[in-house]
């Protein structure tokens, strides 16, 4: 399966090669060695958990685009909405959805409080680069 990664600089989209983000390459290698090759939810979770800041994977569910952020402790997937809000979806639903890959040069860290009962490595809040 071939995926293009696009990035945006000053409002202009350009194509990016995979090997230009070393954290992304590390996440893919770790996934492959752990038996999760091409498991994009697992890969982006690892990338984000290891301070990956630029590569973003989006999924399209019911015609709505969400950015995949992390796998929560209950195995639901934490998603970022169009307005930088958070939402969760079932792992299988996200896994079966169409994926889009983007590279964002400028990011900033934002803290999110998870819904009651949801945790990420037992924590009720999470920092995400947006």
DSSP label of 115: P
Q: Evaluate the CA torsion angle 48, 52, 53, 57 in order and state its sign.
A: negative
Which pLDDT belongs to residue 15? 56
Output the pTM of the full model: 0.85
Which pLDDT belongs to residue 71? 98
Which pLDDT belongs to residue 7? 46
Which pLDDT belongs to residue 14? 53
Ranges of the chain with pLDDT below 70: 1-19
DSSP character string of 65-86? EEEEEEE-TTSPEEEE-TTS-E
Which pLDDT belongs to residue 103? 86
Which pLDDT belongs to residue 4? 47
Q: Where in the chain are the domains? A: 5-129
Distance CA 71, CA 68 (A): 9
């Amino acid at each position: 399966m071939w995926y293009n990664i696009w990035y945006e600089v000053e409002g202009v989209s350009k194509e990016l090669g995979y090997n230009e983000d070393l954290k992304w390459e590390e996440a893919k290698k770790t996934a492959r060695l752990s038996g999760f090759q091409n498991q994009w939810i697992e890969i982006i979770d690892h990338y984000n958990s290891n301070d990956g800041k630029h590569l973003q994977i989006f999924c399209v569910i019911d015609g709505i685009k969400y950015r995949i952020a992390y796998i929560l402790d209950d195995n639901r997937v934490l998603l970022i909405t169009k307005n930088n809000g958070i939402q969760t979806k079932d792992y299988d639903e996200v896994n079966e959805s169409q994926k889009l890959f983007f590279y964002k040069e400028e990011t900033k860290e934002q803290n999110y409080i998870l819904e009651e009962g949801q945790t990420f490595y037992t924590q009720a809040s999470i920092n995400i680069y947006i």
